Amino acid sequence: MRSDTIAAISTAVSESGIGIIRISGEEAFLVVDRVYRGKGRSKKLSDCMSHTIHYGYICDGDEVIDEVLVMLMRSPRSFTAEDTVEINCHGGVYAMKRVLETVLKYGARPAEPGEFTKRAFLNGRIDLSQAEAVIDVIQAKNEYALKSSVSQLKGSVQEAVSRLRNEMIYQIAFIESALDDPEHISLEGYPNRLREKNCQWMQELQKLIVSAENGRRIREGIKTVIVGKPNAGKSSLLNFLVGEDRAIVTDIAGTTRDILTETIQLNGLTLNIVDTAGIRKTEDAVEKIGVKLAEENLRDADLIIYVVDSSTRLDENDEKIIEMMKGRKAIVLQNKTDLEAVTTEEMLRERMQDHAILPISIRERTGLDRLEQCVKEMFYQGEISFNDQVFITNIRQKNLLITSLESLKQVENSIFMEMPEDFFSIDLMSAYEALGEIIGEKVGEDLVNEIFGKFCMGK
């Protein structure tokens, strides 16, 4: 691992109140000594205590670059576990660049993307799952994504994986010891005991794998498709949720022909909403394309919001939508309740017993407050807790969990087939190693570089 001294701007390169230039490495304190001038007869920063802040100036020789506050953090009590200095300067773009240029001139080199976090991982400050959580924190788009990322940053994934690995390596060691010393360590009845433990491990891995779907929705948002017949109120609903007129609304059926997409925040959740063309039989060539796109988006959706015009009767177009919704997460909005009902709530409940039915009037702005709670209950049972629940939000981690689970299934099969105990050990070790890759045990340099290469500069 390279241990030279690196530096980068760690805040956004834009006009702001404060900008931070971070320096990390063996010579971080020597570099800052060369560019820092304190007020009065202050001593060198390299002679100062760790975790202290100092007021002064960054200078290039006799030229004063900026007035700054400098924070000192000595190894190993820093993010990188190396000597680290953070220069808090004024947040002008030119000011930050000039301070960084001065730091580089006097001994540091430019940090690569993600190199500070990479050093934290390589120095044992954090594991790989925590390192991946850092970028998730930065990219979090909603309250729950942030909470999930912070939970992982605090070690929720690492704790769950390490506990499983510790239990597995104990059993591997027991088998190996028994095979090496059969006179003193008996394997009598051991397969049945191992089967019990193995079933428990498989259940825990399966739970983590299943959590990845919720984890994806937390991180990326819930893909939500608004469907219904023409003029049911789909575009009006989109405009209401977005808070501005994004879709054209007219009394002419078939106005929406293209796919409109918007991202909204719904009390901590992110909904990636797709407003589609009204689904109906049509001879219009352009509208046909829109209807086909609507059907394709409906098939890929995490959530379907079906808008029904309660002032008209259900017809063959509604029947087609209802058929496509079977077995899917969907909410039915009985719209236009301000008009005389032709399709009643009772009729809809009879036709769609497995879906929530919400009577609303988009024009009168009534009933829509229930939509938010309904979405929460549908995906997260109303509340999401990160205290005792682990959400996998990373496809790399999910794939390794699947690999580990497959190895445990081989253990189960070997026990059922009454194979020799060394077969158990081989597959247990495969499961153990796959879990180890999640937290960074025995990962290749190419993978490490790929992961940290996705980080922003200065992090």
Q: Give the pair of three-digit tokens for residue 34.
A: 């060369």
Q: Is residue 373 part of a domain?
A: no
Q: Give the pair of three-digit tokens for residue 432.
A: 């153990």
In this structure, are 116 and 200 located in the same domain? no
Q: Which of 406, 428, 424 is nearest to 415 (CA)?
A: 424
The CATH number for 284's domain is 3.40.50.300
In this structure, are 420 and 301 located in the same domain? no
Question: Could you give the 3-state DSSP secondary structure of residue 420?
Answer: coil
245 near 275, Cβ under 8 Å?
Answer: no
In this structure, are 228 and 102 located in the same domain? no
In this structure, are 39 and 119 located in the same domain? yes
Q: Work out the burial of residue 338: count CB atoms within 10 Å of its CB; fewer than 13 is exposed, 13-18 middle, 19 or more buried.
A: middle
Tell me which amino acid residue 251 is.
D
Q: Is residue 276 part of a domain?
A: yes
In this structure, are 239 and 318 located in the same domain? yes
Q: Is residue 25 part of a domain?
A: yes
Choose the final residue of a domain: 72, 101, 124: 124
In this structure, are 206 and 231 located in the same domain? no
Choose the final residue of a domain: 74, 105, 124: 124
CA atoms within 13 A on the CB side of 299: 6
In this structure, are 207 and 236 located in the same domain? no
Tell me which amino acid residue 147 is.
K
Q: Give the pair of three-digit tokens for residue 267.
A: 């009390």
The per-residue pLDDT for 255 is 40
425 near 190, Cβ under 8 Å?
Answer: no
Pairing of strands 260-266, 109-110: unpaired
104 near 98, Cβ under 8 Å?
Answer: no
In this structure, are 87 and 15 located in the same domain? yes
Q: Which of 167, 238, 210 is nearest to 431 (CA)?
A: 167
pLDDT, one tens digit for every residue, the chain (459 residues): 557 999 999 998 888 899 999 999 999 999 999 999 998 767 899 999 999 999 999 999 999 999 999 999 999 999 999 999 999 999 999 999 999 999 999 999 999 999 999 999 999 999 888 888 888 887 777 776 777 778 888 888 899 999 999 999 999 999 999 888 888 888 888 999 999 999 999 999 999 998 887 777 777 788 888 888 878 888 888 888 877 554 433 343 444 444 577 888 776 678 888 876 555 455 455 555 556 676 677 777 888 889 988 888 888 888 888 888 888 888 999 998 888 888 888 898 888 888 889 998 888 888 888 887 888 777 765 455 555 567 788 889 999 999 999 999 999 999 999 998 889 999 999 999 999 999 988 777 777 777 787 777 777
257 near 289, Cβ under 8 Å?
Answer: yes
Residue count of the chain: 459
Q: Is residue 179 part of a domain?
A: yes
- Spatial strand order of the sheet with 222-227 comes to 260-266, 269-275, 222-227, 303-309, 330-335, 356-359
Q: Is residue 311 part of a domain?
A: yes
Q: Is residue 458 part of a domain?
A: no
Q: Is residue 197 part of a domain?
A: yes
Rounded Cα–Cα distance for residues 99 and 443 (Å): 36
In this structure, are 315 and 339 located in the same domain? yes
Q: Is residue 368 part of a domain?
A: no
The per-residue pLDDT for 374 is 85
In this structure, are 270 and 358 located in the same domain? yes
Long-range contacts of residues 319-323, Cβ cutoff 8 Å, at least 24 apart: 320/279, 321/227, 321/228, 321/229, 321/279, 322/351, 322/352
The per-residue pLDDT for 32 is 96
The CATH number for 12's domain is 3.30.1360.120
Q: List b or e across 272-301, with b for residues whose CB sees 16 or more CB atoms inside 10 angstroms.
A: bbbbbbbbbebeeeebeebbebbbebbeeb
The CATH number for 177's domain is 1.20.120.430
Q: List b or e across 96-125, with b for residues whose CB sees 16 or more CB atoms inside 10 angstroms.
A: bebbbebbbebbbeebbbbbbbbbbbbbeb
* Angle, CA of 153, 154 and 159, to the nearest 5°: 105
Residue range of the domain that includes 353: 221-362
In this structure, are 228 and 296 located in the same domain? yes
In this structure, are 237 and 197 located in the same domain? no
- How many domains does one find in the chain? 3
Rounded Cα–Cα distance for residues 408 and 399 (Å): 14
The per-residue pLDDT for 386 is 53
